[in-house]
Amino acid sequence: MDNLLPAKPCRVVDSQVHGPPTGVAFARCNGYDSGVLSAALDRVLAPLGGMTAFVRSGCRVLVKPNLLTDRPPEAAVTTHPELVRQVIRRLKAAGAVVVVADSPAFVTQVEQVWRVTGMQAVCAEEGVPLLCMEAAPLTTLSHDGYTFSVSNLALNADLIVNLPKVKSHSLTVLTAAVKNFYGVIPGHLKTELHKTHARPERFGGLVRAICRAMPTSLTIADGVLAMEGDGPSSGTPVPLNFLAASADPFALDLALCDVLRIDPEQVPYLVGLSHTPDYTARVRYGECPDVARFRLPRNTSRLVLNLLPDWLVRRIGKLIWFRPAFGSACVRCGKCVTACPVHAIALRPRGVPILNGPACIGCCCCHEVCPAHVITIRPSPIVRLERRVARAFAMPTQDDA
């Protein structure tokens, strides 16, 4: 990308790290028809000043969709290609130098991911490069006590246009603006970071640090067809019919929590932010959606455990876990084995894969990549007991949210 982009930076908006929190805009959008989507995109960007408030001629722009795996657009696993197309057109009209890039779960199958998601066709038709994050050298960063290596495709951009798909997530409850920045780390390194930061609170801190270390960004979240339930890849598509945009990814995700009725304290990378004055005073613009129900993953209920003192949670920590279980319809593709960062899964000559339970860290990587959707994340007996207690006392759990 270095030889594709001009040498001088072109920063025309404040970074989400150093600048004041910005507003969050919403626009209703009932489908991906080009005319409908184009009009909705203009409406959601208008309160933020439009695309020209973020770019001018010569700006180096990285468009970062969610390209988790090789699923078609109607599966709601990846960012819809028509949204990417409309964003590219506005960036080019403003004179930006545009590259589209992400790091799918399986880089060795990246061309299949590009083809099936529709991203390859869109980028070819719009005349912009489509790359893997692995196409550029890495830079090692330290931020908020975390160390990680980031692709220079992201780090050297003047602006990242972040295009997440709004989805539930079995590890982080929600994945949208902030979590989508995890894709600036090449695939094999993402797996290693899951291993070294296995606890949800540690992983949430890592995701937060990566997002804060990024250049200036504009996020446009694809909530037209979202995913609920056991996301980010095995959930159920659900039409929420909106786009959301902000120059602050944290403000956007907190606004999504409000809209989807998610407690942000249950989202590891948002813990503590909802109570800070900067975010409680954030402004909403446009056509805020009314979502009656949004189902969360079944493995995130920890309400009673959260009420226990830390010393007791540490004492019984080994009894608290969520682990994969493999259904009989397994196609034995081996993707779960490759994705596991701690090598806790193995294929057998026959039947479903076998799990080394004590070695499992509950990262849900296997669940994310299963093409047959036969992996379920099941809780330990003590967590199942917690759920029974919560229901007996009429305490809402994430399963009921």
Give the CATH number of the domain where residue 109 resides: 3.40.50.11440
User: Are 281 and 318 in the same domain?
Assistant: no
Q: Does residue 374 lie in a domain region?
A: yes
Is residue 401 in a domain? no
Round to whole Å and give the CA distance between 286 and 146: 37
Burial class (CB in 10 A: 0-12, 13-18, 19+), 297: buried
Looking at residue 197, its pLDDT comes to 87
Position 86 in a domain: yes
pLDDT of residue 372: 84
Q: How far apart are CA 288 and CA 46, in angstroms?
A: 14
Q: Are residues 153 and 72 in the same domain?
A: yes
d(CA 400, CA 396): 6
Q: How confident is the model at residue 302 (pLDDT cuts 50, 70, 90)?
A: very low
Whether residue 73 is preceded by a cis peptide bond, meaning omega within 30 degrees of 0, is no
Same domain, 250 and 375: no
Domain assignment of residue 397, yes or no:
no
Closest CA to 126 of 164, 166, 91, 152: 91
Structural domain contains residue 14: no
Last residue of a domain, one of 286, 318, 342: 286
How far CA 15 is from CA of 136, 359, 396, in Å, comes to: 23, 40, 38
> Does pLDDT of 320 surpass 80?
no
- Residue where one domain finishes, among candidates 257, 286, 315: 286
The number of domains in the chain is 2
What pLDDT, on the 0 to 100 scale, is given for residue 280?
A: 65
On whether both 226 and 319 belong to a single domain, the answer is no
Partnered with residue 33 across adjacent β-strands are none
Q: Which residue do the tokens 């790290």 mark? A: 17
The strand pair at 60-65 and 159-163 is best described as: parallel
The dihedral built from the CA positions of residue 317, 320, 322 and 326, taken in this order, carries a sign that is positive
Q: What angle do CA 245, 82, 259 make, to 5 degrees?
A: 35
| Same domain as 167, residue 56 | yes
Q: How far apart are CA 250 and CA 274, in angstroms?
A: 10
Residues 133 and 236 in one domain: yes
- Verify that 307 and 282 share a domain, yes or no: no
| Sole residue written with tokens 């010393």 | 311
Q: What is the mean pLDDT of residues 319-334?
A: 84
Residues 301, 170: contact at Cβ < 8 Å? no
Residue 200 lies in a domain: yes
Res 213: pLDDT: 97
Asked whether residue 166 carries a pLDDT value surpassing 70, the answer given is: yes
Q: Which residue has the higher pLDDT, 385 or 202?
A: 202
Q: What is the mean pLDDT of residues 271-278?
A: 84
Bridge partners (DSSP) of residue 379 are 322
The Cβ of residue 311 has, within 10 Å, a number of other Cβ atoms equal to 7
The sign of the CA dihedral 321, 261, 41, 251 is negative
Residue ending a domain, choose from 218, 251, 286: 286
Q: Are residues 197 and 233 in the same domain?
A: yes
* CATH code assigned at 314: 3.30.70.20
Same-domain status, 252 and 336: no
Q: Are residues 39 and 76 in the same domain?
A: yes
110 domain-assigned: yes
Residue 349 belongs to what domain range?
303-392
Do 312 and 268 lie in a common domain? no
Regarding beta strands 60-65 and 97-102, do their DSSP bridges make them parallel or antiparallel, or are they unpaired? parallel
> How many other C-beta atoms can be found within 10 angstroms of the C-beta atom of residue 46?
15
Evaluate if residue 198 carries a pLDDT over 90: no
pLDDT digits (tens, 9 = 90+) for 68-82: 999 999 999 999 999
What pLDDT is stored for residue 296 in this prediction? 92
**Percent above pLDDT 70 for the chain:** 82
Confidence (pLDDT) at 62: 98
**Alpha-carbon gap, residue 306 to 325, rounded angstroms:** 25
Between these two residues, 111 and 187, which has the higher pLDDT value? 111
- Are 336 and 377 found together in one domain? yes
Asked if the model's pLDDT at residue 305 lies above 70, the reply is no
Query: Is residue 10 in some structural domain?
Result: no
The whole-model pTM stands at: 0.81
In terms of residues, how long is the chain? 401
